[in-house]
Chains A and B, each alone.
With several copies, the nearest count.
Chain A
Amino acid sequence: MEISSQKMDKALIIIVSGRLDTTTAQDFESTCLDLIGNEKNIVVDLQEVEYVSSAGLRSILSVGKKVRSDGGSLIFCNLKGMVREVFEISGFASIFNIYETREQALEAA
């Protein structure tokens, strides 16, 4: 798994690639929190994420709760294949705002 970020006017974009599984979820969580710092509007681009398990969901929810408790918002875009399916089955598609493209997510942010 790899993470990078890009600071835009309206939001911080976090770009994730690879697998969000039991071996990488912890790292995802701590790296995200580091990158977020005091930012309020976060867009996570999952375009390059090909696999997410419940360990990944756990970390995503932790990050989401942290951002929310700091008064910010975490939104997602570019969910593909099984990542989209896992978000739907777990209800994450309704607790988070999800957008098709990064542009749409930035507009909403």
Chain B
Amino acid sequence: MRQPDSGDFSWLQLSATRENLPIFQEFVINEAKRIKTSAEILQKVELVLEETLLNIICYAYPHNHEGSIQLGCCLPGPGELYIRIVDSGIAFDPLSRPDPDVGQPMQDREVGGLGIHLVRRMADRVEYQRKDEMNILDIVFRT
């Protein structure tokens, strides 16, 4: 995968709070619009950001220690939107979670646990790495 430290990445770093979620979303949407991304893809991008960022906001920094999120974004080639999400919270690999059993009847379904599943299904590629005490999640959309 392309390295986000190369100059063509745009970055936004804000504290991991709910009120910053729409600012992160708007940031990526703005970038994505440069390559005339369709409204349907933009909605998927928005959804994937809501799920992944909210998870970091809710679970990554449990000890009331206010952490931050770094979100990188680039347009590596025609029709590709590349998003990198970095946090220094507790180690968590979302791709290691088994998919929920979406075939169960209602009474057996737990409320919740669908966020990561939606991310994996909506994005075209998702990769995780733990590096320098940080969670690095790379998400690629074909636009």
**A residues lining the B interface (CB < 8 Å):** 21-22, 50-51, 53-55, 57-58, 61-62, 64-65, 68, 81-82, 85-86, 89-91, 94-96
Query: Given A64-B106, A65-B107, A95-B105, A90–B47 Cβ distance below 8 Å?
Result: no
B142 to chain A, nearest CB (A): 16
**B residues lining the A interface (CB < 8 Å):** 18, 21, 40, 43-44, 46-47, 50-51, 54, 100-107, 109, 111-112, 114-115, 117-118, 121-122
Residues of B close to A95: CB separation below 8 A: 104-106, 109
Residues of A close to B107: CB separation below 8 A: 65, 68
Tell me which of A22, A53, A65, A81 contacts B118 (CB under 8 A).
Answer: A53
CB atoms of A89 and B102 under 8 A apart: yes
Chain B interface helix/strand/loop/mixed: helix
Tell me which of A64, A65, A89 contacts B117 (CB under 8 A).
Answer: A89
Tell me which of B21, B43, B121 contacts A51 (CB under 8 A).
Answer: B43
9 contacts between A and B (CB under 8 A): A50-B43, A55-B54, A58-B111, A61-B109, A64-B106, A68-B107, A89-B118, A91-B100, A91-B109
CB atoms of B111 and A51 under 8 A apart: no
Known: A53-B118, A54-B50; 5 extra A-B contacts, CB below 8 A, are: A54-B115, A54-B118, A89-B117, A94-B102, A94-B103
Query: Given A22-B54, A91-B102, A91-B104, A82–B111 Cβ distance below 8 Å?
Result: no
Residues of B close to A57: CB separation below 8 A: 114
